[in-house]
Amino acid sequence: MVEERMYACADEARGRRTALSWGFKARYGAGSLTDGLVGAGLGFFLLFYLTAVCGMSGTMAGMASMIALLIDAVADPAIGLASDRLTTRWGRRLPFMVFSIVPFACAFGALFSMPENLTGGALFLYATTCLVVLRLSLSAFVLPFTAVGAEITDDYLERASVVSFRLTFQYLGVLCGVMLGLGVFLAGSNGLLLRRNYVPFAWTCALIIFAAGTVAIGAVRQGHARLHAPQAALTPFLAGLKQEVRELSGSRSFLFLFATLIAYFLAYSANVSLALYASRYFWKFDNFAIQLILISSSFGPLLGAPISAIALRYFEKRSLEIACMLIIAVFLIWPPLLQIYGPIHLSAGVATAVLIANGVFYGTALMVGGVAFQSMMADAADEHELLFGVRREGLFFSGLTLAYKAASGLGGLIAGVALDAIGFPTHLVAEGATSAIPPGVIVKLGLISGPLPAILVAIAPAFLLGYRLTRKRQEEILAALEKRRKPLGQNSQDASFAARELEQLENVEAAIPR
């Protein structure tokens, strides 16, 4: 039985080296539409909906998001490890995706369908409960889904292609959410302020989440034969969770990626949470202009996907990621500083054109950087297997997702607290008396929505300087893993040859910093 499994592992390894079809990658990537729709809903609309529409303070709205994300962040490692260990006829990942998709979609619909009679503590409790269910079910779907992308191919560039498809659909999900919101259900001069408009928006998005998730589930089922089988669990679940989280914290590559995500998503979530406020009250755009500007960044995949495919052939992933983050910081900081301190004051029409162009370049840098970073995550998961002897894509990605969610929650809280700190009068917004907002507050809004996030983005690349997985090192790791999985003596009858292979494997492992 052991010998049969060893030969099966070798066959799986060879299969993971073969190219995936574009059709499969598209069906698999469709699952990221779900993440994109949620990103648009929670990122662009939630803070505005809870404060200006439902009447919560910015701090309480930020606290609701923060509580849900912290609960989810604690649960993520357990979900990730469970999806690594699960043994069923449908594999490790698929059951989590199947059983989470319905509560995932329903929680999103319920979040933007708050009963109008709820106020105060009841409103806060309803919002927090919906967010907790949404975040937990999102994790139960997305963590196994993302782990599939890391383990379904071992090829260095094919991994980047899988990530490119996934991110393309994620940005399409963001684009879909923005267009359904600003272009359809929340359109009009007061469309964003009418609570009843959010209900059909939310449930339409929920239906798309369910449909896209179902397509991805079908793709994962089709690719089941290429995925790693679960390894035998030698320890009980809770003890194993403690042990493997400790091993995770011993991976230098993981720790550097973790710190980078914390810094970057603090900035990203704060910027996105304030985007509607800045667009309407700092730049004074109407809904149509806001929609065009938000959509412009979603064109990033159209330019970023082919650029990343070419760039990764000539540049290391780490170098490309550092460059993209610094470029993103520039695109965030210069428009509001020009408007506040520049020699000219941009009119709404000129500012719209400038920010549309800025958004296209920003989205391109975001896409190229996203492909590089997520490919680095998959490479680091291989290093983890070499160091600790087990495949734990689910646990590995859950740790990085924990960084993203904790930072996003804190970034949303920072955005809410910042609104209160500058004295932004949300009550005047709800009443439609926007002309009464003091000019000094408008200037401060521009500063907290652009330059402040830009500074945090510029800090993030410093952590990547410690990341050491180059293309050459990754090839050495994959070769070492194949030797470890290969049945002893399969390629030679000579025992001394096997001994030399073992010595080479140990040398590769010793060269990797722990």
pLDDT at 497: 40
pLDDT at 107: 97
What are the residue ranges of helices labelled H in 342-390?
A: 348-388
Judged against a pLDDT cut of 80, whether residue 326 lies above it is answered with yes
pLDDT at 487: 55
Q: How far is CA 363 from CA 132, 324, 506, in A?
A: 29, 10, 43
- Window from 80-94, 235-249, 322-336 with minimum mean pLDDT: 235-249
Mean per-residue pLDDT of the chain: 82
pLDDT digits (tens, 9 = 90+) for 386-412: 887 776 666 677 777 777 777 777 777
pLDDT digits (tens, 9 = 90+) for 410-464: 777 788 888 888 988 877 766 666 677 888 999 999 998 888 889 889 999 999 9
Torsional sign, CA 275, 280, 284, 285: positive
- The rounded distance, in Å, linking the Cα atoms of 363 and 369 is 10
Please give the average per-residue pLDDT across 142-170, as a whole number.
Answer: 82
pLDDT digits (tens, 9 = 90+) for 117-139: 888 889 999 999 999 999 999 99
Judged against a pLDDT cut of 50, whether residue 7 lies above it is answered with no
Judged against a pLDDT cut of 50, whether residue 5 lies above it is answered with no
- By residue count, the chain amounts to 514
pLDDT at 459: 92
pLDDT digits (tens, 9 = 90+) for 34-70: 999 998 898 788 988 998 889 888 888 888 988 887 8
- The rounded distance, in Å, linking the Cα atoms of 53 and 69 is 22
Q: Do 415 and 269 meet the contact criterion of CB atoms below 8 Å apart? A: yes
pLDDT digits (tens, 9 = 90+) for 184-231: 999 877 888 889 999 999 999 999 999 999 999 999 888 877 766 665
pLDDT at 336: 93
Please give the average per-residue pLDDT across 263-275, as a whole number.
Answer: 85
Judged against a pLDDT cut of 50, whether residue 247 lies above it is answered with yes
Instruction: Between 259 and 434, name the one with better pLDDT.
Output: 259
pLDDT at 30: 93
Please give the average per-residue pLDDT across 273-284, as a whole number.
Answer: 86
pLDDT at 203: 97
Q: Do 313 and 358 meet the contact criterion of CB atoms below 8 Å apart? A: no
Domains parsed from the chain with CATH numbers: 21-223+234-469 (1.20.1250.20)
What's the pTM? 0.68
SS3 298: coil
Q: Which residues contact 103 (CB under 8 A, 6 or more apart)?
A: 133, 137
- Token pair of 35, please? 């993440």
pLDDT at 432: 65
State the first-to-last Cα distance of the chain, in angstroms, to the nearest integer: 34
Estimate to the nearest angstrom the gap between the alpha carbon of 101 and the chain centroid.
18
Q: What is the CA radius of gyration of the chain?
A: 24
- The rounded distance, in Å, linking the Cα atoms of 29 and 24 is 8
- The rounded distance, in Å, linking the Cα atoms of 318 and 361 is 20
pLDDT at 383: 85
pLDDT at 127: 94
Q: Do 303 and 370 meet the contact criterion of CB atoms below 8 Å apart? A: no
